[in-house]
Amino acid sequence: MNALRSVIFYAGYFLAILFFGLLCLPIAPLLPLPSRYRLLNLYNHFIIAWFSWICGIRYDFRGHKALPEGPMVILSNHQCEWETIYLQVLKPPVCTVLKQELLRLPLFGWALRLLHPIALDRSRPSKALKQVLSQGPQRLKEGLSVLIFPEGTRVDPGQRRRYNKSGAVIACRAGVPVLPVAHNAGERWPGRHWIKNPGRLSVVVGDPIATEGRTPEDVLVDVERWIEAQLDEISEVPRPERAQAPSPQMPV
């Protein structure tokens, strides 16, 4: 049954890329950035709803229903594709730090280019780090929030990975708050398997964490403790003991 649901889901998923791509891409470049986000996010809203309808997902959203005005750095755990879709609609307009290969995908990648992402060449980590630290504050000054996954890559449910502090660094440099987000989306939408699993998908949005007058290391400690504590509560897959401290390095 789950396999059949997943086949139907992916049929709608790819048809949605084709439909919204052909409908929105000719119009989006002509619009100012906020309106461009609203138009292109129609696809994201559809996929979130389609996933629930077809795959038997019960959403459990907790936290802020009305987020503060102004840009911020959004830091979330990373398990699968679902959160990359959802976090685009949480506080638009949002600039996502992502791998540059995604921009080469037909239609989907072309739409991403229009949203001013920070696209990294992960084969050159030193250059990628400099790019995040220079472009991140600039995007914040332009009024965009910045989305970074501090684990640096997808982490399977039940696993832990140390957090990097690049997101906390740009938040501290720009004097904007950090918005922590935790979720268990990988239990419903496995990152390494195409079959989707019905059940509860929980998303918890925390209180913004102030950065003014604080070091990135201190901010990252608060972020990591909060996200990991939420994951311990909402995860259905058993998790290992928490690391004692975040990584002192700054990989991207």
Q: Give per-residue pLDDT as tens, 109-161.
A: 999 999 989 999 877 878 888 999 999 999 999 999 999 999 989 999 999 99
The answer to the question of residue 81 being in a domain is yes
Please indicate, yes or no, if residue 93 is contained in any of the structural domains. yes
Residue 215 maps to a domain: yes
What is the count of structural domains for the chain? 1
According to DSSP, the residues that pair with 61 across neighbouring strands are 203
pLDDT in tens, 212-223: 999 999 999 999
Q: Which residues are CB-contacts of 35 (< 8 A; sequence separation ≥ 6)?
A: none
DSSP-assigned letter for residue 209: B
Per-position DSSP letters for 121-169, written without gaps between them: -TT-HHHHHHHHHHHHHHHHHTT-EEEE-TTSS---TT---PPPSHHHH
| Rounded Cα distance, 232 and 83, in Å | 18
Mean pLDDT of the chain: 92
Half-sphere exposure of 175 (CA within 13 A, CB side): 3
Residue 192 covered by a domain: yes
Closest CA to 204 of 219, 188, 183: 183
Tell me whether residue 26 is in a domain.
no
- 208 found inside a domain: yes
Q: How much is the pTM?
A: 0.91
In a domain, 44, yes or no: no
Domain limits for position 93: 57-234
Which residue, among 96, 78, 79, has the nearest Cα to 40 in the 3D structure?
Answer: 96
Within a domain: 15: no
